[in-house]
Amino acid sequence: MGIEWKPAAFPCELMSLSGEKGVRLRATVSEFGPVLFSKILSLNDTQSGVVSLVFKYADDRELPLLDLKDFKKVLQYCTNEGKEEVKKEYGAISTASASTILRKIIEIEEQGAELFFGELSFDVNDLLRLDEGGKGYIHIVRLTDIQDKPKLFSTFMLCLLAEIYREFPEEGDVEQPKLVLFIDEAHLIFKEASSALLDQLESIIKLIRSKGVGLIFCTQTPIDIPAAILGQLGLKVQHALRAFTANDRKAIKMVSENYPETDFYKVDSLITELGIGEALVTALSEKGTPSPLVHACLCAPQSRMDVLSSSEQEELLSGSALVKKYNQAVDRESAYEILQQKLVDAEVEVKKEEPGKTDKKTDKEEGSVIGEALDSTVGRQVARTLAREVTRGLLGILGLGGTKGRSKGLF
């Protein structure tokens, strides 16, 4: 290609959703809002209404919803101790709906979501930082330990895209994007994604370009991406595909039909013949129309294509300003602590009132009660019966009571 190759390093940040080393990515429950939070849990309309009620109650009572235990505590309070208060002001909450929501929360907790929800929440504007040389940072989210936890990754994706769309200003048609998101192994996302994630991705992809943001999916074949999303992607870079089976040949035929029609290439054959560093490329022109398909050679990456050693990772993390900013877990007073203290205070108040409501009586009170009992008709009858039985007992002991046929002696 006649291009001089020079090795180069680029500013980089390692990030993590779990216990992996890196900048901790977190978000609060409040930042999600009731609609997005309901989508994550895959709730129906009735259950989503309960979630909205919980958010409304927490807002009205100034109960911060920061992590999952905050939300669970408010939901439990609304269906137990505060049931009457909630019913009077907001309407009744079905026990069945509340139980279903709690089970859904436990499901995402099992996948490590409790590590994601909390403070400090990540500020998406930190993705736009430049280093001293004016280069933008490459942020690598490490997902090696959550590949089997699709719910957690779906939660993260929904939050990130929604936050970027909400925070970034409208840019219009810019020369180059100010942020590009690369989603590698995208077929894993779409294979495990909930309908909520797919709907959200489709909406965001349609709108996010106006924010100056690009979104690129990297996958094995284009057919791994849902048609509704694939139709929104103007740039397509196709590397080689190999046909080893009849199904592979059918898949390649389908892939070749995803590109603009051309008489210059036989696309389905050319895809199988591409070598390393070669690709078929089509993009949108300045007029917004697809450009003709081109068989192109690609520049080699300047960075090292290898796994970072442990010492290199530690060096990156030790010099990271974001690690110092976000890796300190904060657990300030929120809905859980406030409601817990409220219940403790209520219990203390009940105990204070108990001495005045006990059945303990003074001697004078006891005497008056006994006197009243003896003065009554039933009381007098009981007294006579007791006296008679006591007398019989004493006479029996002395040998004076009993039947006529008995001896009058003591023995």
247-300 pLDDT per residue, tens: 888 888 888 887 888 888 898 889 999 998 899 999 988 887 888 999 999 988
At 194 the pLDDT is 67
What are the extents of the domains in the chain? Answer: 234-303
CA angle 340, 342, 346 (to 5 degrees): 120
What pLDDT band is residue 356 in, cutting at 50, 70 and 90?
A: low
Examine the pLDDT at 237 and tell me if it is beyond 80: yes
- Asked whether the whole model's pTM tops 0.75, one would answer no
Strand-strand pairing, 23-24 and 12-16:
parallel
Q: Which residues are bridge partners to 12 per DSSP?
A: 138
Q: How far apart are the first and last CA of the chain?
A: 134
Q: What share of the chain in percent tops pLDDT 90?
A: 20
Residue 238: strand pairing partners:
280
pLDDT of 260: 84
Q: How far apart are CA 63 and CA 55, in angstroms?
A: 9
Helix or strand run (H / E) with residue 166: helix 150-167
Helices marked H in 235-276 = 246-256, 267-273
Both structure tokens of 327: 């890796």
Structure confidence at residue 397 as a pLDDT band (50, 70, 90)? very low
Say yes or no to pLDDT of 399 above 60. no
Lowest pLDDT segment from 120-124, 143-147, 163-167, 220-224: 143-147
pLDDT at res. 306: 86
Q: Are 182 and 140 in contact (CB under 8 A)?
A: no
Q: What is residue 106's three-state secondary structure?
A: helix
Q: What is the pLDDT of residue 173?
A: 77
User: Are 17 and 116 contacting, i.e. CB atoms less than 8 angstroms apart?
Assistant: yes
pLDDT, mean of residues 340-364: 65
Q: Which residues lie below 8 Å from residue 11, measured CB to CB, with a gap of 6+?
A: 131, 133, 135, 136, 137, 138
Question: Residue 69 burial (CB < 10 Å; 0-12/13-18/19+)?
Answer: buried
Q: Is the pLDDT of residue 177 over 70?
A: yes
pLDDT band at 383 (very low <50, low <70, confident <90, very high): low
pLDDT (tens digit per residue) in 11-69: 999 998 887 889 998 889 988 889 888 888 888 889 999 999 999 999 998 889 999 99
Please state, as a whole number, how many other Cβ atoms lie within 10 Å of the Cβ of residue 268: 16
- Strands 213-217 vs 23-24: parallel, antiparallel or unpaired: unpaired
pLDDT, tens only, 139-165? 999 887 777 777 777 778 878 888 888
Task: Give φ, ψ of 136 to 5 degrees.
Answer: -75, 155
Q: Is residue 235 reached through a cis peptide bond, with omega within 30 degrees of 0 on the bond before it? A: no
Angle at 175 (CA atoms; ends 169, 181), nearest 5 degrees: 60
DSSP reduced 3-state for 197: helix
Q: Which residues contact 307 (CB under 8 A, 6 or more apart)?
A: none
Cα–Cα distances in angstroms (integers) from residue 242 to residues 115, 153, 239, 281, 286, in the given order: 41, 30, 10, 18, 33
Mean pLDDT for 306-311 is 88
Phi-psi category of residue 72: left, alpha or beta, with phi > 0 → left and psi -120 to 50 → alpha: alpha
Q: What is the pLDDT of residue 125?
A: 93
pLDDT score recorded for residue 341: 82
The pLDDT value given to residue 46: 92
The angle subtended at Cα 103 by Cα 98 and Cα 105, nearest 5°, is: 95
Which range, of 55-59, 199-203, 388-392, averages the lowest pLDDT? 388-392
Q: What is the pLDDT of residue 374?
A: 44
Going by C-alpha positions, the residue among 38, 44, 162 that lies closest to residue 54 is 38
Q: Are 288 and 232 in contact (CB under 8 A)?
A: no
What is the pLDDT averaged over residues 310-318?
90
- Write down the pLDDT at residue 156: 81
pLDDT given for residue 398 in this prediction = 40
Task: Calculate the average pLDDT of the chain.
Answer: 80
Per-residue pLDDT at 52? 93
**Run of H or E residues at 139:** strand 138-142
Q: Dihedrals φ, ψ of 233, to 5°?
A: -95, 110
For the chain, helix, strand, coil in percent to 5 are 50, 10, 40
CB atoms within 10 A of CB 294: 13
Taking alpha carbons only, the member of 263, 257, 259 closest to residue 281 is 259
Higher pLDDT, 86 or 204: 86
Bridge partner residues of 141 (DSSP): 15
| Amino acid code (one letter) for 80 | N
Using DSSP, state whether 73 is helix, strand or coil. helix
Specify the pLDDT at position 384: 54
Query: Do residues 277 and 3 make contact, with C-beta atoms less than 8 angstroms apart?
Result: no
